[in-house]
Structure formats: C-alpha cells, structure tokens
Structure 1
Amino acid sequence: MKQLLPPAHVPLWLLILLQVAISASSLVVEIVAGRMIAPYVGMSLYTWTSIIAVVLAGFSVGHWWGGRIAGLETARALRITGWTMIAAAGTTAGATLLLRGFAGPVIESLPHPLAAITALSMLAFFLPSLFAGVPAPILTVAAMRDRDQSERALGSMFAAGAIGAIAGTLLAGFVFVPWIGSVATLLVIAATYCIAALTCFWLGGTSPRKSVLPALAIGLAGLIGLGAQKLPSVCDRESSYYCLRTVDLSQDPQNPVSLMVVDHLAHGISARDAPRIMFTQHAALLDALPRMRMQRTGFTSFHIGGGTYSVPRAWADRGISGITIAEIDPEVTAMAQNAFWFKPDTATIIHGDARLALRNSDQRFDVIVGDAFTDIAAPEHLVTLEFFDLVSQRLAPDGVFVMNLMDNIDRLDALAAVVATMRQVFPSVEVWTEASPPSKGERRVFVLLASAQDSPVSAIDTPAPDVTRFQVLDTAFIDSILNSKAAHILTDDHAPLSFLMGFDPVLQ
C-alpha cells in the first residue's frame, strides 16, 4: 500500500485538527480526574493541587519525549505517535480499574491525606497525561517542516493547543460529566485517542501488513474500556458537584435509617420515623442551639447547605415554618426527597450558591444556619469578614447565626481564624462542642453561635442520637487560643481555611 499523503504534504488543517482533539481530550481527563478521585479522598484544594501537578508533570515528560521523536523522519515520527495514542487510550480507559483496585490499599498504607491524594493521582493519571503530551511537539514539527512561512504554522499549532484546552475544559464541566458521567467520559476520550492513533498511522504510511499490531492494540484498549464500563458505579447519583450514595443503616427494615455519602464522607443520617432525632453532633447542635435561643416556633430561618435536609425536616415536623434552604446541587435535594423523607413543600429551596442567594435577598431572618463544611474541604467564601458582615445584615435584631466547623484539636488554627473574623462583626461569638475531654489528634466538631448577646445557658443536652451534653467553651480559653495563634482575619482577598484545616501537626 502506497502512502496516501506524503509527510511533506500533510494538510496543515489536519494537523491542527489533531492538535485540537488531543489537547481537548487531555484537559477533559484532567477535569474528570478530580471527579473520579473525590469518592476516595474528597474534593478539596489539595485534591486539585495534586491532580494539576501530576497532570502537568505527565505533560512535561510527554513533551520532552515527543521532542526527541520529532527529530526523526516525519513518517516514522507519526507512526510512533500512533503508538503513543494507543497507550494514551489504554491508560485512560484503565484509570477507572486502577482506582477501583488500588485506592483502598493506597489509602490504608498512606494515612496522611495529602500523601494518599498525590499517590492516587500519580497511579491513575500520570501515564495518560504523559502519553497525551507526546504528540504536540511532533505534530508541530510536522506542520513546520518543508513549508513556506513555517512561523505561521508554529503559531497555528500553539493556538490549536490552547483552543483544544479551552474546549476540553468546557466540554468536561458542561457536557460530559453532567450528561454521561466520569467513566463513560474516559471511554469517549479513549475512543478519541484511538481515532487519533489511526490517523497518525495513516499519515505515517503504515501498510496493511503492518496494521495488524496497531489494530490488536486498539482492540486491547477497547477491552480495557469495556471492563471499566462493566464495573458497578461507585455513585448512586453523579452530579455536576458530587458523587452521591445512599447507605441503608437500618437494623429493622420496618424502621428505615439512611446515610448520605457525599464523595468520600458521611454527610448526614436520617430516620424515616424519627425526624426530630439528629444522628451527628453537628446536626444536633445546629438543630438545638437556634431553638434554645428562639424559645418559640414562630421564627424564620435561612439554611446554607441542604445535605440530608435533617434540620429543616425536624423543624418542619415541630411546626416551624418560614424555612429557606440554599443548596447548590439539585441532585442533593432530589436524593433528600427520595431517600431521606424530606418534603419540599415545607420549605423554599434555592438551588445556587448560598452567599449569592443571601445577597440577593432583602429578607431578614431570625436564624441563619451554616452547614456547608466537610472535613478538609471548606467553601472559603463562606467564612470571610465580608460574608459575616452580609450575614449580620440579613439577621433580625435578636437573630442568631450558627455554623459548624471541624478542626484538629492539636492545632485549632482554623477555629481561631474563624472566631477572630466573626468577632469583627458580632458582639458575641460562642464556641460549642461536646462536653468531653479531647483526645490527641482528634478532629473535633465545633458549632459557632454568633449574635448580639450571649446565650442564657452554658450547656444543653440533646440527642445525637443518644442524649449528649454539649457546652460552650469558656471565653478566656478561646481568648488564649486566639492570642497563641495570632489568628488571621479571613477576607475575600485571603482566606486560606483549607490550609488551616487540612494539615496535621506532623508536618509542622
């Protein structure tokens, strides 16, 4: 078989198209990587930092390797590129299998979360990025070689790579993940790489006799992809934001109890027949403290984050109305309705960012509840001086703001920073937690209560689900923590809450 398109006459438009397609595909993989790792280690600043670093490392090695290949005769370089595209297809399709098979052992062997996140990113996504990085210098050299105005060809190839990266980012976030999910998205990308491989073999003049091995390799990549597709999904629902699962905790099938898992974290628990019982400490405090302060059922509330909707459900069951909930993910609301017995007609639900919803509202609420914080992932725009000032503007004169927070008992940097920031706005800032001695290394649940005056009591007993005593920490003790930490005021310009929450003392 004669070569149909001699390398010297490969159309520039075709090389540009290949560059766009491969660049777009590689960025889709980078975005999907965060979504796929989240069910194992969560989604946080550290997750994205690790993924971006690993992907860029893969691209860098791939570009270096591709530069060496680009020095070869064009047809041979294109054939080698075809093989690297098959490798990219196979490793991309196999990323799901690697995560399913090795995430557990990696996390168990690397107890520090940052080490586990980095290791999983390397395991699943370094090789796909490496192989996807190889074609760029090869295609660029092929576009410039033996052409007039090669400088224009160089600029066109760089522009094609950037356009592809933009397209891939948009496609991943707005099309692929919401419509078909992460695993299917990787299979689409693997198929794209296979098409790119066939194109490169064709441009490189691969004869029918020598096409058998590439065909077998592409078939193997397809089998890997089919194997990944056959695996049961780790998510009951995969939304644009989270991997959502429902776990049945019922000991008695006649009295169902459900757990919502958001990414890798237990997010909330609800019982069908006991809507007023809270099963976690933070939910128990978020439920009990506002009711203790209001001393009535006729109060209005704004809830930042829905989750299992346990607190709004409990309040509705007590006859409390005027409930507004800002939940960014409609799929979370749908799951709360279908699996956690929340009745949507008992509240006004806003699907969007809570800060934006609060800013756009002119209503003043008796209670504002902040329940959007999990582990080392925290929405930093909801803990700043500017946000707390907005909250104070939306509170009634005798209103209260409560929010949950987790921090390492050996550090308390995040707690100190948030309390110091809240004190800039509210005359009274109380820190509530379980009335029990702390243990070394414990990540403890705190609930902060801010208002114009102190609470009338310093301790409460409430089910969590067993009756538990919670107390407010002494003001002098909190002052000593703030003084020892030289607590930083969090602002929209600088609010490193994830950093303050996420590192263990061993790293100091």
Structure 2
Amino acid sequence: MTPTPDDPAGLGHRAAVALVFGSSAAVLVVEIVALRLLAPYLGLTLETSTLVIGIALAAIALGSWGGGRIADLTGPRRLIGPALGISGAVVALTPAVLRTTAEAAPGALLPAAMLTIMVPGTLLSAVTPMATKLRLDSLERTGTVVGQLSGVGTLGAIVGTVVTGFVLISRVPVTAILLGLGATLVLAALPMMWAARSRGGTAALALAVGAGGLAAAVAPGGCDVETTYHCANVETAPNGSTTLVLDNLRHSAVDLDDPRYLEFEYIRAIASVTDTAFPEGEAVDAYHLGAGGLTIPRYLAAERPGTRSVVSEIDGGVVRIDEQRLGLGHVPGVDVRVEDGRLGLRRLADDSRDLVVGDAFGGVSVPWHLTTREALADVRRVLRPDGVYVANLIDYGEQRFARAEVATMRAVFDNVMIAGQAGDVGLDSPFGSDGGNLVAIASDRPLDPAAIRAAMDRRDTGWTVRDPAGTAAWVGDAQVLTDDYAPVDQLLQPYTNTAG
C-alpha cells in the first residue's frame, strides 16, 4: 500500500474493497451475536431485537458521519489500523463483559451492551468513509468510487448477516465467533499500525484479545451447548435426576430410570389434568408443542401404554441434547420432529388428537405466533370433540400476557380454566405471590375442577384451579391475541426479584 502515480494515497483498490467489505460484515456479525448473548437475560423478544438493531444503526450512522468528518480533517490512513484494532479488542472482550455484568450487576447490562455494540460498530463504520477518501484521486471519479465502495459495504453487511445466521450460529459457539472476529480484526490492523510505528499499540491489542479469551473462559453464564435458539446447560442433581436449563431457566428435570418422576409443580399440574380428563390407563393420541426433556411424553407412555405422542421442537440443538446428553433418543411411542410448532400443527389431520400440550413458552421470551386465536383455532381443529388443550404459561406482576392468552383461549374453546398458586389466580392464599407458572386448560367439553384440584393435591402441588366462571373473572377485560395484533413482548413481564 505504497503511493504510486495512479494511487497517490497509497491505498490500492483491492485493499479498499477488502477493508470496506470486512468492516461492514463485522458490524452485522457483532449485532447478530449480541442478540444471542443478551437473550438468556433479556429474552429473544421483539423489544430486545429492536434495541440491538437500533444501537447498531446508531453506531453505523455515527461512524459514517464521524469517519467522513475525520477523513476531511486529517490523514485517514493512519487511523484505519487503530479503528480495526480497537474494535477487535472490544469484540474479543464482549462475551466476558456482558456475561459477567449480567450475573454481577444486572442493572448495568443495558449500558454495557450499548458500549460493546456502539464502540466497534462506530469504529468499523468509520472505515468506509476513510477508505473512500483515500481512493478519491480526482473529482471525475467521485461517483464511481463512492458508489462502488458503498455497494461493497452493503454486500459485506449482507454476507455477514447470512453467514452468521445460517452457518456460524449453528456450528460455532458465540464466544468463539466473537474471539475469532476480534483476533481477525486485530490481525488486519497490525500491519497498518506497525507501518505507522505504533509498536506499543499493536502489543496492547494483541494482549486484549488474549485477555478476552481468558476472561471468557472464567466468566459466569457460559453454556454447555449453544443451540440455534438457546444457551443450554445440563445439570445433575444430588438425587440423580438431570435438569435441562435453557437460557438460565430450568425447563425439565428427568429421571432416566423413572418416567413417572415429575419434579416441577407445573408438570405435576399438567399430569393431574391428564389423569382426570381421560380414563385411567387409557392410551391417548397426543401432540406436544415444545420438547424440553420430553417429561410429559415419557410420563404418558409409561402411565398410558400405547399412547402415541408427536412432538414439535423448533430447536434441533435441544433434540440433540435429549438424545446425546439425556439418553432420550428412543422413547417408545414418541415421534420427535424438528419443526416450528405452528407448521407442525398444520400438518396434523382434523380430529386426530385427544390431547395437545403447549410447553413452548419461556420465562423471558414467547413465540407469539403460538398464542393467537388463529393458532388456537388450529389446536381446536386437530382435537377430537372431547379433546383437551393444556398449556404452561409463565408471567409475573400484573400477568397481562397470561390473562390475554387465557382470554384468547376463551374466544376459541367452550370451557377454559386456569390453575396455579391461589394468589396467582386471584384468590387469597398463604401461597400467594406475584406470578410464575400457570397452567391453562381448555376444552369444548366440561371438565371437573374439583377432580383436577384433588389430583393436584395428591401430587402435592399446592395449587388450585378456578372453574370457568372464576377464570372469566380472573381474565377480566384482557385483550384477545390475533395474528394481526399480538403484542406479546410488551404484555409479558419477566421475573424481577424485589427482595431486600
């Protein structure tokens, strides 16, 4: 990159294209991977996505404006190396910074996220106007140079998005992606900084990348497995059961030797509904939205021999964990399909299921398209006339999402009831709290709330169930969710520990 009569600035065409392409791609990689890092703590919601996209766009705007301004005021060539290098150091430190902040000081997570996205995003976005200024050797070529490099930058952003979303996330842990990107940016910066005699700066950047790797190795909040949608961990309890943890939420507890082992209260409540809704020991045709640790499908297979269960799980990584880590690869009568639940529902025949179990809603994010009146109409379509839909809901505070979802069920089914701790379903009780797990029960046939309550008592849940009239009172004037209007992310209130 030495000056020549054809290139007085000393930046060749290929070098400029590579710098603009790579820096633009890196901005989008950081944006997408930041969503993955924040999802376990903020949820993979519309609000989280909007926040990250907004920060990234602000960084691009600031970098483009600032880079162009600086390029007009000073020689930009000596600034490109530091911009790449500092970006690489920040990117490499991002996994450790965000995870440590989320665990140690949750209130500071958003400012930390803004800094770790804004700093590299701004510096990398400044590369394009600086490289463009270096390539402008005559006014006659201004349009050509600006247009070419602008197009190259857009192409780089597209490639960064596609490669990250379709290739990297499914094959490489998030930490490795960011460490690799950080190291690549620093390596790209070293020759330019070395040529500018910035020896101390090059050493500091290399050390920062190494520190990022070491910090990521010891930072809290890591994953045993990073799936397409979750940060997954598998924990073994003293009693020998195995717990599947997805995004810091305990989803399933499994005893490989005892499929009737039901640890979580909401799972015991769902089992209580199935115990009372169908004759004892009778096989049923069931469909499950969400796999988790296959707790209910295994329970039904053991308790009701001959039961056939179809399970739709969108995350193939969860299915692999079930097979490889939990030893659940061959459960008799259980057909696990890696597919979106809404699409899985469409593939089922009318009047083909006795039972549909919805357990796809997490504590910090909800697949909204499974909550709507249209989705529930599909559930009703696949159920036989005396079939039952039972769903696990998680909500806190005013429980606006849970109430809206039950209101939507009431718009589709003839009989709907809500079960949970008495305080959570609008009754005074020593068990009262401000939210958590609830189980909604919907059917076109009447179900016996007293029988369900008795079954839950036998399973020691401490829960109660409200009859359809009491459920209607609990729902109040909550809105019905539709495909056209389902602001689930805004209705859902995540858990907030206000103790102390």
Provide the TM-score with structure 1 as the length reference: 0.87
Question: What is the aligned partner in structure 2 of residue 372 from structure 1?
Answer: 360
Which residue, 199, 215, 224 being the options, matches 1:212?
Answer: 199
Which residue, 362, 365, 376 being the options, matches 1:388?
Answer: 376
Q: Which residues in structure 2 correspond to 1:106-505 (within 5 Å)?
A: 106-107=105-106, 110=107, 117-198=109-190, 206=195, 210-228=197-215, 230-231=217-218, 234-251=222-239, 256-296=240-280, 297-318=282-303, 319-346=305-332, 347-362=334-349, 364-408=352-396, 410-435=397-422, 437=429, 442-458=434-450, 459-462=452-455, 467-483=460-476, 486-502=477-493
Answer whether contact 2:98 2:113 (CA < 8 A) is retained: no
- Aligned residue for 2:391, secondary structure, equals strand
Question: What is the aligned partner in structure 1 of residue 426 from structure 2?
Answer: none
What is the deviation of 1:464? 9.6
Answer whether contact 1:98 1:123 (CA < 8 A) is retained: no
Structure 1 residue identity aligned to 2:158: I
User: What is the CA–CA distance in structure 1 between the aligned matches of 2:306 and 2:277, rounded to whole Å?
Assistant: 14
User: What is the CA–CA distance in structure 2 between the aligned matches of 1:350 and 1:32, rounded to whole Å?
Assistant: 27
User: What is the CA–CA distance in structure 2 between the aligned matches of 1:10 and 1:91, rounded to whole Å?
Assistant: 26
What is the deviation of 1:322? 0.8
Cα RMSD, aligned residues only: 2.8
Question: What is the aligned partner in structure 2 of residue 113 from structure 1?
Answer: none
Answer whether contact 2:420 2:439 (CA < 8 A) is retained: yes
1:447–1:430 Cα change, 3 Å: same
Where do 5+ consecutive residues of structure 1 fail to align? Answer: 111-115
1:345–1:366 Cα change, 3 Å: same
Answer whether contact 1:403 1:447 (CA < 8 A) is retained: yes
- Aligned residue for 2:140, secondary structure, equals coil
1:7–1:238 Cα change, 3 Å: farther
Answer whether contact 2:42 2:364 (CA < 8 A) is retained: no
What is the deviation of 1:377? 0.8
User: What is the CA–CA distance in structure 2 between the aligned matches of 1:7 and 1:87, rounded to whole Å?
Assistant: 27
Question: What is the aligned partner in structure 2 of residue 47 from structure 1?
Answer: 48
Answer whether contact 1:276 1:314 (CA < 8 A) is retained: yes
User: What is the CA–CA distance in structure 1 between the aligned matches of 2:96 and 2:387, rounded to whole Å?
Assistant: 51
Answer whether contact 2:193 2:202 (CA < 8 A) is retained: no
Answer whether contact 1:431 1:449 (CA < 8 A) is retained: yes
Deviations along 1:181-204, whole A, 9 cap, x unmatched?
1111112211332244246559xx
- Tell me which moved more, 36-45 or 447-456: 36-45
What is the deviation of 1:6? 4.4
Q: Are 2:51 and 1:68 aligned?
A: no
Answer whether contact 1:429 1:450 (CA < 8 A) is retained: yes
- Tell me which moved more, 291-300 or 241-250: 291-300
1:488–1:7 Cα change, 3 Å: farther
Structure 1 residue identity aligned to 2:78: R
What is the deviation of 1:417? 1.5
Answer whether contact 1:407 1:443 (CA < 8 A) is retained: yes
User: What is the CA–CA distance in structure 1 between the aligned matches of 2:187 and 2:489, rounded to whole Å?
Assistant: 41
- Aligned residue for 1:170, secondary structure, equals helix
User: What is the CA–CA distance in structure 2 between the aligned matches of 1:161 and 1:488, rounded to whole Å?
Assistant: 44
What is the deviation of 1:359? 0.5
Deviations along 1:453-498, whole A, 9 cap, x unmatched?
2212434345799622433214344333444xx3222111211112
- Aligned residue for 1:148, secondary structure, equals helix
User: What is the CA–CA distance in structure 2 between the aligned matches of 1:42 and 1:265, rounded to whole Å?
Assistant: 11
Deviations along 1:146-201, whole A, 9 cap, x unmatched?
25231122222222222111111111112222222111111221133224424655
Answer whether contact 1:461 1:468 (CA < 8 A) is retained: no
What is the deviation of 1:32? 0.8
What is the deviation of 1:291? 3.0
- Tell me which moved more, 458-467 or 152-161: 458-467
Answer whether contact 1:281 1:464 (CA < 8 A) is retained: no
- Tell me which moved more, 392-401 or 315-324: 315-324
Deviations along 1:53-80, whole A, 9 cap, x unmatched?
333333333333312211135xx21211
User: What is the CA–CA distance in structure 2 between the aligned matches of 1:117 and 1:42, rounded to whole Å?
Assistant: 13
What is the deviation of 1:307? 0.5
Answer whether contact 2:32 2:161 (CA < 8 A) is retained: yes
What is the deviation of 1:138? 1.6
Q: How many positions carry a matched residue from both structures?
A: 485
Where do 5+ consecutive residues of structure 2 fail to align? Answer: 424-428
- Tell me which moved more, 374-383 or 283-292: 283-292
Provide the TM-score with structure 2 as the length reference: 0.88
Answer whether contact 1:277 1:463 (CA < 8 A) is retained: no
Question: What is the aligned partner in structure 2 of residue 79 from structure 1?
Answer: 78
Answer whether contact 1:304 1:327 (CA < 8 A) is retained: yes
User: What is the CA–CA distance in structure 1 between the aligned matches of 2:326 and 2:263, rounded to whole Å?
Assistant: 13
What is the deviation of 1:261? 0.8
- Tell me which moved more, 147-156 or 430-439: 430-439
Structure 1 vs Structure 2: percent identity of aligned residues? Answer: 29
Structure 1 residue identity aligned to 2:307: S
Structure 1 residue identity aligned to 2:243: L
User: What is the CA–CA distance in structure 2 between the aligned matches of 1:505 and 1:246, rounded to whole Å?
Assistant: 24
Answer whether contact 1:39 1:234 (CA < 8 A) is retained: no
Answer whether contact 2:409 2:442 (CA < 8 A) is retained: yes
What is the deviation of 1:447? 1.1
User: What is the CA–CA distance in structure 1 between the aligned matches of 2:386 and 2:216, rounded to whole Å?
Assistant: 55
- Aligned residue for 1:467, secondary structure, equals coil
User: What is the CA–CA distance in structure 1 between the aligned matches of 2:473 and 2:402, rounded to whole Å?
Assistant: 12
